[in-house]
Structure 1
């Protein structure tokens, strides 16, 4: 078998991509739970599913093989010996705060007695307290938070498959995510990479695993070409994690440059790809709010040092010139979200106007609601494929956030 992972650019023709269709997890919470689960609103599931199905079909129509995370996980657990399934449930429960006692035992029995596909859906959707009879022994523990409805929280962010992992070169990062609401998500990627026949036994390099200290998420990881990776220093990704990834990539000899770009550490600009994406060989979208009055932003250029543990680091602020140098292009077209208008740019960035998914050089998928930014892309020669977004956008993520590319054609 050949390695199924092949990501050496942001813009090569998209060949294989992993999605997660929104399901009960996106409606299994109340307004009081939104902050805990990192949501600003509650999507209307039937429309969100319709929009997501359209998004998936656009990718298929343009040559991509669409895989679904929930199906890959179920295929693994159905195809493996029972102890793999048992250990996976044990780990999910432990990372949900249940390691021993009557509640843990009841949850374990409840899940393992389900058909596998329903079990996977239930883990993702959450388990209410009202679904289990845990007996008198658990009254004291249940009373600790008696008004909270769940033993296992729903995972509504799962349809943003970009973040729990990032496929880079011929390997991937399996990410230690920032907030408790999302930390369990990378367990699904870890399981698939270790056991699914598409990946298992192929010595796939893991550039950084989910057990390492220091946060990182896939929305901050951009593969600009076959030797340059850009990673955002953001609300969700630490400088320590970026250094780890750079060392691993350099040691493997697959990339020779990592750009660490510092962006505002806010919910609105949570990842680099919410403010900056690549749409062609020499064209990028950029949200002007991340740049200072001179158009500058703190950027650190990392190269391999004298040994595999060393890094040579240079600090710059002129991002456009840095990109021209590392990409070896004479000119660069930086297309500003909302045309740079402070009101329009702010509104469209909030609705992921900067979060374009490039599926071929100069061909992007965007949300239809960001009509000003979309028209500007068209005027700059970009082919724009719009998808409906009234409900999907409520999760604060766009087409790039909703997709995890596994293979792209070389440029």
Structure 2
């Protein structure tokens, strides 16, 4: 095994180390009027969501996997007073605070938090205006005086428990992403500090994408199928232009990947990322949501003479995958067994969003009973999670996890 702190050359190699985020008070700052703004469809009950998430983490530990937490790594990255101050200033600059005096008040509140873990947790939770001290009338600027009735001075980050998206581990490198919405783009700040300043990860990991880029890409669209093959999704959340930048950097940094399969599919929320409709579960098996198959277009991308070469695949997807993975054939296991009603319902509850922790060993939500039965009939061992609250954020076990280290296959 490599001594490099990031080592991910497959989707199915035995998982050794993984990053999670335990849902926190950011979920308690969700409210019905602003769910769409914060990319949620419902409001999870925090205590139950934490219980479900703890069960997820313990299930991974029981399989011998080391569990890291985003909030802990971020706190450990604030190694000096200067870095801490820099983090607070960047956080405030990206927080869309409308009032000059409001920003000054929040800066003081953050500086008054002595414990770095408490500071990180608070930046994730956001600030209700009701938490702020009263600003004397003679100190208020025009923006402060005419501010709207919106209840937050800084929005919460409720999507953080989907650690798959702000950055992606690819080989020995990291794609530090520029995300689809301002609501989530702020999440990538924690990754920036981890990979720049953390005692273990800081300065030791090449970036193949950077959050400062102008085009969007998210980790749910980045799949490492083998040491030779990547897959990326052209989706609601990821631009084709971003994929070109990512791939050129991956090839130039000689990470070892020889080809990329780019999947273009319907651009809407229910199929927001490639991994919501397609995941690898064994050497020769994938889950797939049947609703995407009719309109799916797949492109093979290689890099020669400092140029990307793109060719649309006209062959069946299973044939393309088998050839590129060096296996005799590939089984595409259809969510819901191909029944359009069952497939739509179970895909909405992340029936196709699986986390493979070893070849043929897969973490799933227990609620997707039809799909799970089919997976078991294909010889897979399932670790089933309760997900009644976690699923309200529209993400499954793969969405909630970012592998840092896998064994090679």
Q: Deviations over 1:248-267 (max 9, x none)?
A: 11112221111110121111
Distance between the aligned counterparts of 1:324 and 1:25, measured in 2? 43
Q: Name the SS for the 1:40 alignment partner.
A: coil
Matched, 1:95 2:97: no
Distance between the aligned counterparts of 1:218 and 1:135, measured in 2? 44
Q: Deviations over 1:261-287 (max 9, x none)?
A: 012111111000000000000000000
Shift of 1:147: 1.2
Distance between the aligned counterparts of 1:128 and 1:352, measured in 2? 32
Distance between the aligned counterparts of 1:343 and 1:143, measured in 2? 52
Aligned to 1:48: 49
Q: Name the SS for the 1:259 alignment partner.
A: strand
Whether the 8 Å CA contact 1:277–1:286 is kept in 2: the answer is: yes
* TM-score normalized with structure 2 length: 0.96
Matches within 5 A, 1:15-34: 15-34=16-35
Matches within 5 A, 1:125-164: 125-133=125-133, 134-136=135-137, 137-138=139-140, 140-164=142-166
Whether the 8 Å CA contact 2:264–2:296 is kept in 1: the answer is: yes
Matched, 1:367 2:358: no
Aligned to 1:197: 199
Distance between the aligned counterparts of 1:372 and 1:100, measured in 2? 52
Shift of 1:138: 3.2
Shift of 1:55: 0.2
Which of these residues, 387, 390, 396, is aligned with residue 388 of structure 2? 390
Of 252-261 and 280-289, more deviation after overlay is shown by: 252-261
Q: Deviations over 1:119-176 (max 9, x none)?
A: 1111101111111133333363235542111111000000000000000000010000
Q: Deviations over 1:321-375 (max 9, x none)?
A: 2111211212110000000000000000000000000000000000011011001
Distance between the aligned counterparts of 2:157 and 2:223, measured in 1? 24
Matches within 5 A, 1:8-407: 8-77=9-78, 80-98=79-97, 101-115=100-114, 116-133=116-133, 134-136=135-137, 137-138=139-140, 140-202=142-204, 204-253=205-254, 254-292=256-294, 297-307=296-306, 310-317=307-314, 318-407=316-405
* TM-score normalized with structure 1 length: 0.96
Shift of 1:201: 3.6
Q: Name the SS for the 1:190 alignment partner.
A: helix
Shift of 1:316: 1.4
Shift of 1:112: 1.0
Q: Name the SS for the 2:271 alignment partner.
A: coil
Distance between the aligned counterparts of 1:234 and 1:252, measured in 2? 25
Give the 3 Å change call, closer, same or farther, for CA 327–131 of structure 1 in structure 2: same
Distance between the aligned counterparts of 1:251 and 1:19, measured in 2? 30
Distance between the aligned counterparts of 2:146 and 2:299, measured in 1? 46
Whether the 8 Å CA contact 1:302–1:311 is kept in 2: the answer is: yes
Distance between the aligned counterparts of 2:145 and 2:221, measured in 1? 39
| Structure 2: runs of 5+ lacking an equivalent | none
Shift of 1:212: 0.9
Distance between the aligned counterparts of 1:141 and 1:369, measured in 2? 48
Q: Name the SS for the 1:232 alignment partner.
A: strand
Shift of 1:100: 7.9
Of 310-319 and 81-90, more deviation after overlay is shown by: 310-319
Give the 3 Å change call, closer, same or farther, for CA 99–74 of structure 1 in structure 2: farther
Distance between the aligned counterparts of 1:143 and 1:31, measured in 2? 26
| Structure 1: runs of 5+ lacking an equivalent | none
Give the 3 Å change call, closer, same or farther, for CA 38–201 of structure 1 in structure 2: closer
Whether the 8 Å CA contact 2:318–2:329 is kept in 1: the answer is: no
Q: Name the SS for the 2:336 alignment partner.
A: helix
